Structure 1
Amino acid sequence: MKRFVVAVVAAAGVAVAPVQAVAHERQAHEGQRVDIAVGVGGFDAPSTISAGAVTFSVSTSDPAGAWLGLVRLRAGVSRERYLADLTRAMGPEPVEGGRAVAKDAEMLGGVAVARTPAAVTVRVSPGDYLLVDFRDVGLPDLADRVRPVRVVPGPGGGHGPADQVVVVLDGRFVAPAAISGSVRVVNLSPHVNEAMLMPVRPGTTDADLGAFFRGTGPAPFTGGPTGVVPLSPGRSAVLDADLPAGPYALVTWVTDTRTGRMFAADGMRALVRVGG
């Protein structure tokens, strides 16, 4: 297995030059590491962290996996309102709920894990945040599972370097055929979006993926997602995981709030190979 760091640039009508500038950025990696173990009953997290680059290293014993994300509520938005809107967005009202969530909070990303532990590095500024396992949405005790986190002034620091870029232009992932090395995740689109890697059966085609996301074909996946959970426009993250080598689908499970259709059903997906 090869260690890799994946980043996705989500961009709408953005020239390639700025993307290349992002990819070749070389900032020293400074910051702190927060280890979080997620179980069936939830997770614990520190109540205080320092501003700057923070790496959340996540593992889970929950067979359903974990989708741990960091969010910052906008002024005047209560935790109760945000969680109610999040439940709507991930349940019966993906369009109206999704629009409300985008207004409720700044989503800084986070990490989805299945069998393999993974880490994500994000930059945070001082303020009050929430850590949410999006897998818990819909549970009656969701509010009790959310962990408040206060970010206090710190030394700052940036993400690590990025060697590869996966670009989204007009709802498409533009990805290298093989993923290895380090790549940054930057959402330059006007929409909240995510980037998930899911192992697929050998021989899986884009047509197979399209049929699944349109509801006309079987699931081609052989395991759960590892990736970056939703990022607000302008946010970035770096994903680090030691996934088994093989064929993967790079997908998003986010619904386009303009059309009511999943982005992946409309072509925002790519087949890649991880490792050798």
Structure 2
Amino acid sequence: MRRRFLLAGMLVALTAAFIQIPSAHGQTEAVHSADVRVSASGISAPDTLPTGNVTLDISTDDPAGTWLVLVRLDPDTSLAGYLDNLRTAYGDDEEAALIARREIAETVRMLGGAILSDTPASVTMVLTPGVHHLVDIQDATEPDLAERVRPVRVTPVRADVAQQPAQQPAQQPAQAPALLTMVDTEHGPRYRVPDRLVTGRPIVMLNRGGQPYEAILMPVRPGTTPADLDEFFQGINGVRPAQAAPPFIGEGTGSAPLSPDRLMTFDADLPPGQYAIISWVEDLETGRISSALGLHALVTLVDPAEPTPEAAATPAGEPVSPGVTATSSGRRGHLRHGRVAIRSSAPERITAVGDQTYSRPTSTARV
């Protein structure tokens, strides 16, 4: 299959009202960690994981990198049915692909993961009991896709075990983590994220949109502007003439798609510099790449020694419209990534999936 480029990374503990988030390595709550290794031949991971806060330390020796996502299928969805839809979603029939992506959106919970190449990453999520699957989306059209998928059973944890300290003692982070939120507005999807992020500091990633989104950190040429990003994405979507030189100068690193009302943390050792946060995920209604609809932002990663204003995250675009009412069965959309290979030059309170809860404005669910 044609391998696409990717992603943006971030994560850890959040101080936003009414949100309970996965703990990261730097917190004192018990957090189970597990190594996940992706190679050209498959995925190496534990057979079981405990409920609660779980950190996956993900790495790969595959030259093509990995687009690893942890999914949980709805009770009426078989693994074979999901994989059939996944093959179709990444196939060449655009109309059939859109239908398949909508089906995946309604029947599969995308809990998070990582898209990476040379740089390892750690992702922390809240898991509940049941069978889950680790899937490398890059394998979607491989004939042995089913053999490459790694099943993982999440099992309940005894109370006395859950109250034990974390596996590895860690110090509290010196500063609060950053927060990146994906929202839907009347002008299209947008990121809410500070202009400056600190290297080595986790970032909480929260999807408050009406469909899956991702956040990919792509290094860009110095001086790149939002207009440059808009021109590039409009070009590859055929709205404007294609741009001769993409603004990106390296591989992307970040999070796999998250279903609506899910959050996770993402932590990767990225060097300082200017980055674009983008998403190749496509809109379920139009099929257009979400970044072509405005889901992109420019941020600067700075060294921890450099003073950084603790400014609140602001929308990278127009004001936010009311959110989308959602429940655990109200998921929408698994967008595939764009077909581009870029090589450098509720009303009151909503109870989300698992142990995560937060409040959001009253709204009407979209169709």
Between the two proteins, the alignment pairs up a number of residues equal to 262
Q: CA shift at 1:22, angstroms? A: 6.1
Between 91-100 and 24-33, the greater mean CA deviation after superposition: 24-33
Aligned runs of 1:26-65 on 2, under 5 Å? 28-65=28-65
Q: Give the 3 Å change call, closer, same or farther, for CA 19–187 of structure 1 in structure 2.
A: farther
Q: CA shift at 1:208, angstroms? A: 2.2
Q: Which of 206, 209, 226 is the matching residue for 2:253?
A: 226
Q: CA shift at 1:166, angstroms? A: 2.1
Q: Give the 3 Å change call, closer, same or farther, for CA 270–20 of structure 1 in structure 2.
A: same
CA contact (8 A) 1:250 1:269 kept: yes
CA contact (8 A) 1:95 1:256 kept: no
Q: Determine helix, strand or coil for the equivalent of 1:20.
A: coil
Bigger Cα Rg: 2
Task: Specify the alignment match of 2:191 in structure 1.
Answer: 173
Q: Deviations over 1:215-256 (max 9, x none)?
A: 121322222221110111111100011111111111111001
Q: Determine helix, strand or coil for the equivalent of 2:99.
A: helix
Task: Specify the alignment match of 2:10 in structure 1.
Answer: 6
Higher strand share: 1
Task: Specify the alignment match of 1:152 in structure 2.
Answer: 155
C-alpha distance in 1, partners of 2:251/2:125? Answer: 23
Task: Specify the alignment match of 1:275 in structure 2.
Answer: 302
C-alpha distance in 1, partners of 2:48/2:74? Answer: 19
Aligned AA (1:177):
D
C-alpha distance in 1, partners of 2:232/2:83? Answer: 29
CA RMSD across the alignment: 2.5
Aligned AA (2:68):
L
Q: Determine helix, strand or coil for the equivalent of 1:138.
A: coil
Task: Specify the alignment match of 1:12 in structure 2.
Answer: none
Aligned AA (1:132):
V
Aligned AA (1:31):
V
TM-score by length of 2: 0.66
1:143 aligns with 2:161: no
Q: Determine helix, strand or coil for the equivalent of 2:105.
A: helix
Aligned runs of 1:66-145 on 2, under 5 Å? 66-92=66-92, 93=94, 94-145=97-148
CA contact (8 A) 2:123 2:267 kept: yes
C-alpha distance in 2, partners of 1:78/1:240? Answer: 32
Q: Give the 3 Å change call, closer, same or farther, for CA 203–84 of structure 1 in structure 2.
A: same
Between 175-184 and 136-145, the greater mean CA deviation after superposition: 175-184
CA contact (8 A) 1:23 1:164 kept: no
Q: CA shift at 1:128, angstroms? A: 0.4
Q: Deviations over 1:71-104 (max 9, x none)?
A: 0010111111101112222333442122111112
Larger relative contact order, structure 1 or 2 (CA cutoff 8 Å, min sep 6):
1
C-alpha distance in 1, partners of 2:20/2:55? Answer: 21
Q: Determine helix, strand or coil for the equivalent of 2:281.
A: coil
Task: Specify the alignment match of 1:265 in structure 2.
Answer: 292
Aligned AA (2:106):
K
Structure 1 unaligned segments of length 5 or more: list them.
Answer: 9-17
Q: Give the 3 Å change call, closer, same or farther, for CA 176–22 of structure 1 in structure 2.
A: farther
CA contact (8 A) 1:195 1:251 kept: yes
